[in-house]
């Protein structure tokens, strides 16, 4: 028995903020939204998936953002993505270098930490 792969990342969001999630994850990051199964859709939230990249946002009534724990996304053209996020009002933050990568952090509309990594 062994763990084979990561299936998806689940992040929390406040109730009623699906439009903000769609704008950030689908429009700005370019991860298409997919339909949630009907029995889960009634709970709210959104799922964004492209191939093996799966980010699910679930509603949490007493929501608190994840400021340390975070997903790290491999990206292409980090500079263009940073500009797109900046133009949309999202600040990106540099951190210490990591061998082989350029990287930045951004908070999603709810304050969840997201790492963006581009191989050098």
SS3 category, 97: coil
CA distance 42 to 53: 23
CA distance 71 to 56: 11
pLDDT digits (tens, 9 = 90+) for 65-108: 999 999 999 999 999 999 999 999 999 999 888 999 999 999 99
pLDDT for res 18:
98
Residue 58 has pLDDT above 90, yes or no: yes
Taking the CA atoms of 51, 39, 71 and 30 in sequence, report the sign of the dihedral they define. positive
Q: Which of 68, 69, 75 is nearest to 102 (CA)?
A: 75
pLDDT for res 36:
96
Class of the CATH-defined domain 9-119: alpha beta
Question: What's the chain's average pLDDT?
Answer: 96
pLDDT for res 52:
96
| Structural contact between residues 117 and 77, judged by C-beta atoms closer than 8 angstroms | no
């Amino acid at each position: 028995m062994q763990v084979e792969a990561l299936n998806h990342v689940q992040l929390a969001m406040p109730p009623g903020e699906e439009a903000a999630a769609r704008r950030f994850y689908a429009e700005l990051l370019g991860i298409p939204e997919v339909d949630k199964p009907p029995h889960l859709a009634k709970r709210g939230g959104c799922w964004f998936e492209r191939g093996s990249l799966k980010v699910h946002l679930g509603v949490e009534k007493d929501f608190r953002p994840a400021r340390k724990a975070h997903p790290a996304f491999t990206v292409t053209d980090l500079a263009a993505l940073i500009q797109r996020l900046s133009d949309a009002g999202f600040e990106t933050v540099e951190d210490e270098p990591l061998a082989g990568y350029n990287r930045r952090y951004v908070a999603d509309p709810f304050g969840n930490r997201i790492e963006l990594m581009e191989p050098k």
